[in-house]
Amino acid sequence: MIHLTNARLIDPEGMTDAIGSLTLEGGMIVARNASAPDGAEVMDCGGKCLAPGLIDMGVHIGEPGARHKESFRSAGMAAAKGGVTTLIARPDTAPVIDTPELLEFVTRRAAEASPVRVRHMAALTKGRAGREMTEIGFLLDAGAVAFTDAEAVCTDTKVLNRALTYARSLGALVIGHPQEPGLSRGAVATKGKFASLRGLPDVHPMAERMGFDRDMALVEMTGARYHADQITTARALPALERAKANGLDVTAGVSIHHLTLNELDVGDYRTFFKLTPPLRSEDDRTALIAAVASGLIDIIGSHHMPQDEESKRLPFEDAAAGAVGLETLLPAAMRLYHAGALTLPELFRAMALNPARRLGLPQGRLAVDSPADLVLFDPDAPFVLDRFALRSKSKNTPFDGQRMEGRVLATFVAGRKVYDADL
């Protein structure tokens, strides 16, 4: 039994931020704001923030096929250091996670190697090729929490319609990547003056809106449960608002990079800033922050995409897209808090409570009888990020060398401390 006292409890369910205490036993929260029970280990949190552990949707892990970029062990250690207590792993591995046998294999590997919880998404179509849907029912039975082809947008609407219809009959969640693939093919920047001046192949923000509109039409036809992995442009927000107003079972996410960086950060062709979708304009960024604050955008994630040095040390157009984010998700989010754009309960609503709700997980709360998956952090602690100090195998972070605030002090999974900054 552990009694965490003198903590600033960040409760995204009650939207409160107040000093209190939690008592943990048997991997669960058993009391809140109660006296320390006899025999309990008492931990004084010193007035620092105690919040539900982050649930990071859409994490790319290199197992199987690219363990040199990220393994379950390294991703789990990075997550623990970053306050992430549950990883939702993507299926775009080599081979693709599209059969119950492969799903069971990676589930066992993750349980053996990772100090934090790992749940898996499975592919929506076999090989992510968009031609034939996977065995959704069997994959659900094997533990899949959602189905997605990640950035491989299915262009055959008949196949996608069948997959959504079948997913609807089973209550399965489908995660889409809103993008018109023809327009966005080969693009590495957002269309505008900056991309033109830099001579970079670009894509109009409307490509995201077009992809989202198509998906919404299919969701309306089928009644499927749908989550947009990333909404990154202001042009797509009215369509998202309409979909929700029309009663569609739709949610949307955004990456922390699109909330804290913009297209100008590409600067001198720094490939650590090459993402999918590409970084957007400052107007888009501020519109996205407002959408998170209002609840229109439900979830913030790191969209962790490890790439090795060889993949990034190339001309901007040729370099691999993506950035690591497990350890930088929380301090990057603190930029929004310190700027007065979002409160801590609003941030943890998007980074813990809403992902848990969407995936049907019991985590993401500070309520009694909830799993004791927690993060203790100092939102004001300053530091300069050194990418070589990251626990991820790959070091491709756009925040390298930047001044940041927000340091994780301890991470608990099922009441067990899996990270301690003092050790």
Does the pTM surpass 0.85? The reply is yes
Does residue 221 sit in the same domain as residue 344?
yes
So what's the pLDDT on residue 423? 77
CA distance linking residue 230 with residue 58, whole number of Å: 10
Q: Write the CB contacts of 253 (distance below 8 Å, at least 6 apart in sequence).
A: 57, 58, 227, 228, 229, 230, 231, 297, 298, 299, 300, 301
Q: What are the distances in angstroms from CA 173 to CA 182, 201, 377? A: 26, 33, 32
Domain boundary among 314, 331, 359: 359
Residue 156: which domain range?
Answer: 54-359
CA distance linking residue 69 with residue 308, whole number of Å: 6
- Considering the domain boundaries, does residue 28 fall inside one? yes
Cα 41 off chain centre by: 33
Does residue 256 sit in the same domain as residue 353?
yes
Q: Write the CB contacts of 414 (distance below 8 Å, at least 6 apart in sequence).
A: 27, 371, 372, 373
So what's the pLDDT on residue 287? 98
Does residue 351 sit in the same domain as residue 380?
no
CA distance linking residue 206 with residue 198, whole number of Å: 21
Distance spanning both ends of the chain, measured CA to CA? 21
Does residue 60 sit in the same domain as residue 43?
no
So what's the pLDDT on residue 107? 98
Q: In the structure encoding, which two tokens stand for residue 400, read together?
A: 């390298």
Residues of the chain under the 70 pLDDT cut: none
CA distance linking residue 374 with residue 371, whole number of Å: 9
pLDDT digits (tens, 9 = 90+) for 209-247: 999 999 999 999 999 999 999 999 999 999 999 999 999
pLDDT digits (tens, 9 = 90+) for 146-176: 999 999 999 999 999 999 999 999 999 999 9
Q: Where would I find the H helices in 254-322?
A: 256-260, 282-294, 309-312
pLDDT digits (tens, 9 = 90+) for 369-383: 999 999 999 999 999
Does residue 42 sit in the same domain as residue 126?
no
So what's the pLDDT on residue 267? 80
